[in-house]
Amino acid sequence: MKAGFAEVDITPPVGTLKIGWLKKIVSDKVLDPLCARVAVFEQGGARVAFVQLDTLSIRWSQVREMRSRLERVCKIPAGHVMVAATHNHAGPAVAGTGEVPRDESYVESMIASVVKAGQLAVKGLVDAEIGFGSVFEFDVGYNRRIVMRDGTVRTHGHFKDPLALCVEGPVDPEVAVLAARTPDGRPLGCLVNFTCHPTHHGGSGELSAGYPGVLIRTLQARGWPVTLFLNGACGNIHHNNPMLGVEKTKEEAGTRLAEDALKAIAGMAFNPTWPVTAATETLSLPYRPVSPEAVAGTVRGAQRFIDPAIYDRGMPALLKRIETRRMQPAEVQVLSIGEIDFASIPAEYFVEFGLRIKEQAHPRHALVVSHANGMIGYVPTPGAFKRGGYETTFAASSRMAPEAGDMLADAAVRLIGRKR
């Protein structure tokens, strides 16, 4: 077994447009660095690679280009590379969203940096032992959808509101860690999987990696040179506690998760033989039926954030896209290291689906990596569509049919099932 890790800086210059808040925001300050990180695992001649970016999302065209270059330069098969964004809301415009255009020059720089990190990771491949462990954390991520007494949902609702009734759904409390060290015990790097939106500094001009950056830097200070943060099915999970109306700061969330990761590592048994495999399946997902009420944002429970006019101005292009394309391609990929399966989903996926994949993959240990290998927007549960809320409100960020989530979960479970 061999493993190699690398990290390169991808902090954009001040003045770069940000995305994550729908409206146009020009960055004016760097709070902490943004990075691209690569982990490569090799066993028996087979290689898989994880790419993690401190960005909101990643587009399929960018994934394809990264894979092509990594295959050519690093000899890693394109289908064996998973590219995941942390879903950091305080990063650069790597994609067009709302009324913010994509920064093409930054995207090219980011792709080149990923290739550089891949080269460094492959060059750094050394004999390794792998360990896996997980602990549970209930005080960082909270379900942000609050059911009201009229049966609708308010995203980012709270219980100071007398019309609030209950939290709509569950959380995923697992902090899962796959760690690599040399045979003599020297840490090489690790993958940390947890489920929670990182939205700190999204609405300001500040550039930041959010709580995942704090987590990674804390682990670095504790002896783990490179950590990749892989976000779970966090479409409806946030670091604001609606029960108390208190939001975890990025420092509080990141430090707490770092301590959790260290607890998981402390309980690991390490082994030098972990087979690595990869499998993919590309689906054609349906767009949702569109009504005049959905276009106008007047359906029951609709919730438009920031500025409703942004939604109205974007409708003609969205409707043309749906009419022209008819279906949305989406890749589900599973990279496996031993009995641990990392299932990529190219969406802001609701936590209920992530939990379903974990349950139905048993006895294998499945982990969901969202915002990976593309982005199709929010994928809520069928039940969520009946209640409304921000995530279900028709927009470029929420255009998929209610059955899309189960189709993605079915594909992930199928791919994992082939490994049993």
Q: What is the mean pLDDT for each group of 10 consecutive residues in the chain (420 residues)?
A: 98 94 93 98 96 97 98 97 98 86 93 98 98 98 98 96 97 98 98 98 97 98 98 98 94 98 97 96 97 96 93 94 94 97 98 98 97 98 98 97 98 88
* Confidence at residue 99, expressed as pLDDT on a 0 to 100 scale: 78
d(CA 353, CA 170): 11
Whether 114 contacts 70, CB under 8 Å? yes
In a domain, 38, yes or no: yes
Two tokens, residue 252: 């509080």
In a domain, 420, yes or no: no
Whether 372 contacts 418, CB under 8 Å? no
Two tokens, residue 397: 């960020």
Number of folded domains that form the chain: 1
In a domain, 320, yes or no: no
In a domain, 231, yes or no: yes
* Confidence at residue 418, expressed as pLDDT on a 0 to 100 scale: 81
In a domain, 194, yes or no: yes
Among candidates 342, 366, 357, 373, which has minimal Cα distance to 405? Answer: 357
d(CA 212, CA 192): 10
* Confidence at residue 96, expressed as pLDDT on a 0 to 100 scale: 82
Two tokens, residue 368: 């969901």
Strand intervals (E) in 287-349:
327-337, 340-345, 348-349
Q: Which residues pair with 178 in a beta bridge?
A: 132, 191
* Confidence at residue 359, expressed as pLDDT on a 0 to 100 scale: 98
d(CA 42, CA 270): 16
In a domain, 9, yes or no: yes
Residue-number span of the structural domain to which 91 is assigned? 2-274+342-374
224-248 CB burial, b ≥16 within 10 A, e <16 = bebbbbbbbbbbbbbbbbbeeeebb
In a domain, 297, yes or no: no
* Confidence at residue 22, expressed as pLDDT on a 0 to 100 scale: 84
